[in-house]
Amino acid sequence: MKIFKFAAGFAAGYVLGSRAGREKYEQIAETARRVRGNPTVQQAQQKAKQAVGTGVDTAKAKMDRRQPQPVQPVEPVEPVEPVDVTSPL
């Protein structure tokens, strides 16, 4: 029953949305094109790209400093006798 209600709501929304959908899409797309062409928006976009580039460079530098040094090999040790943990002390 729940799936039927969901499907009916989805179908109704799809039909109603598709009727006005293309006009609304074109309106949104035109607004986006105008905003993207605005000089202020273009300047902000360039500043954001530069900030991201600087942040990436800084992060890389920090990661390079934090790289662990190679581990020096350990000299082998003599094997030890196993301990019987079931016997009382």
Helix, strand and coil in the chain, % to nearest 5:
70, 0, 30
pLDDT tens readout for residues 4-18 = 667 777 776 776 676
Q: Give the residue numbers spanning the domain of 6.
A: 2-51
- Count of domains forming the chain: 1
pTM to 2 decimals?
0.40
75 is a domain residue: no
Task: Provide the residue type at 1 as one letter.
Answer: M
Per-residue pLDDT tens over the stretch 15-66: 667 666 777 778 877 888 888 888 998 898 888 888 888 877 788 888 777 7
